[in-house]
């Protein structure tokens, strides 16, 4: 369901931009009409929906391996939004599972190492929601339960994480096809983990932490 929404938006973003480009070429010299201005604006708006980075991540409570795409934006490219799909092998359970994740990150600083192409991003803060795409899990309790019987969702987990990155800022993009590549790690915990941790002294903070490592390719 969610995937189709994303794909549909992508198609919308691509289609008008092609059509618009042909028209613009034909009337390049003449003054722009109101219609053309509107079309340009519309094109630019939809083009923003084209994702500009890809991510691959190992672990981190959203699957064993996750692949995702998203947007890097902001004046200093400090904001990031990701859509990710994680693969969760079945281990002791009946089926393999897919986990869908929406992630919002804030990466406030970029520190270049000397004159080199390497950039350190000493902090990244992320908030993400993950959903297990399996009908054994519920967002709201099924009707058979009395109202508020469990009072939480087994399907959706809200996580917080902090991490660091090292980025290789590619000097001449024209030969490389990508702007930069970063390696990152993050340490996070989810809502139920915090619930356990704050209700109990015997569970140490280290025990609720979950590590993720991954790579981001910015086109």
Partner 1 sequence: MRKWKTVGLWLCAFLLQGCELIEYHPYDTRIEGETGLTAKNVRLIEEKTRGKREFRFAMISDTQRRYDETEEVVDLLNRRGDIDFVLHGGDVADFGETKEFLWSRDFLNKLHMPYVCLLGNHDCLGTGFDVYLKVFGEDNFAFTAGNVRFICLNTNALEYDYSHPVPNFDFMERELRDWPEGVEKTVVAMHVPPGDDEFNNNVELAFEAYVTSFPGLQFCLFGHQHSFQEKDYFGDGVMYYGCTTIGKRGYYVITIKEEGYEIERCSF
By CB under 8 A, the residues from 171 to 200 that bind partner 1 are 185, 187, 190, 192-193, 195-196, 199-200
Binding-site member from 129, 211, 217, 219 for partner 1 (CB under 8 A): 211
State yes or no: residue 148 binds partner 1 (CB under 8 A).
Answer: no
State yes or no: residue 136 binds partner 1 (CB under 8 A).
Answer: yes
* Segment interacting with partner 1, rule: CB under 8 A, options 5-13, 49-57, 69-77, 132-140: 132-140
Are 72 and 79 spatial neighbours (Cβ–Cβ below 8 Å)?
yes
Binding-site member from 49, 209, 215, 219 for partner 1 (CB under 8 A): 209
Cβ closer to partner 1: 66 or 72?
66
Instruction: Compute the chain's Rg from CA coordinates.
Output: 22
DSSP E strands in the chain: the ranges are 53-59, 65-73, 79-88, 97-106, 111-112, 118-132, 156-169, 180-190, 210-218
Q: Which residues of 37-63 are buried (b: 16+ CB within 10 A; e: fewer)?
A: eebeeebeebeeeebebbbebebbbbb
Binding-site member from 7, 11, 38, 203 for partner 1 (CB under 8 A): 203
DSSP 8-state class, residue 30: S
Binding-site member from 150, 158, 176, 178 for partner 1 (CB under 8 A): 150
State yes or no: residue 33 binds partner 1 (CB under 8 A).
Answer: no
Number of other CB atoms surrounding residue 137 within 10 Å: 13
Element (DSSP H or E) covering residue 28 = none
Binding-site member from 213, 215, 217, 219 for partner 1 (CB under 8 A): 213
């Amino acid at each position: 369901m969610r995937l189709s929404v994303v794909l549909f938006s992508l198609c919308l973003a691509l289609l008008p931009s092609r059509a618009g480009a042909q028209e613009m070429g034909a009337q390049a010299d003449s003054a722009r009409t109101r219609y053309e201005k509107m079309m340009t604006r519309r094109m630019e708006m939809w083009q923003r929906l084209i994702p500009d980075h890809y991510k691959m991540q190992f672990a981190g409570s959203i699957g064993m391996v996750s692949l995702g795409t998203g947007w890097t934006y902001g004046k200093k490219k400090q904001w990031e939004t990701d859509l990710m799909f994680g693969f969760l092998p079945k281990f002791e359970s009946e089926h393999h599972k897919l986990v869908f994740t929406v992630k919002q990150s804030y990466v406030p600083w970029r520190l270049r190492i000397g004159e080199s192409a390497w950039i350190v991003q000493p902090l990244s803060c992320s908030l993400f929601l993950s959903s297990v795409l399996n009908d054994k899990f519920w967002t709201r309790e099924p009707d058979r339960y009395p109202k508020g019987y469990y009072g939480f969702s087994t399907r959706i987990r809200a996580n917080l994480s902090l991490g660091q990155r090292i980025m290789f800022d590619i000097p001449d993009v024209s030969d490389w096809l990508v702007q930069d590549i970063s390696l990152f790690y993050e340490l996070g915990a989810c809502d139920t983990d915090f619930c356990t941790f704050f209700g109990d002294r015997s569970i140490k903070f280290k025990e609720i932490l979950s590590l993720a490592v991954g790579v981001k390719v910015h086109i």
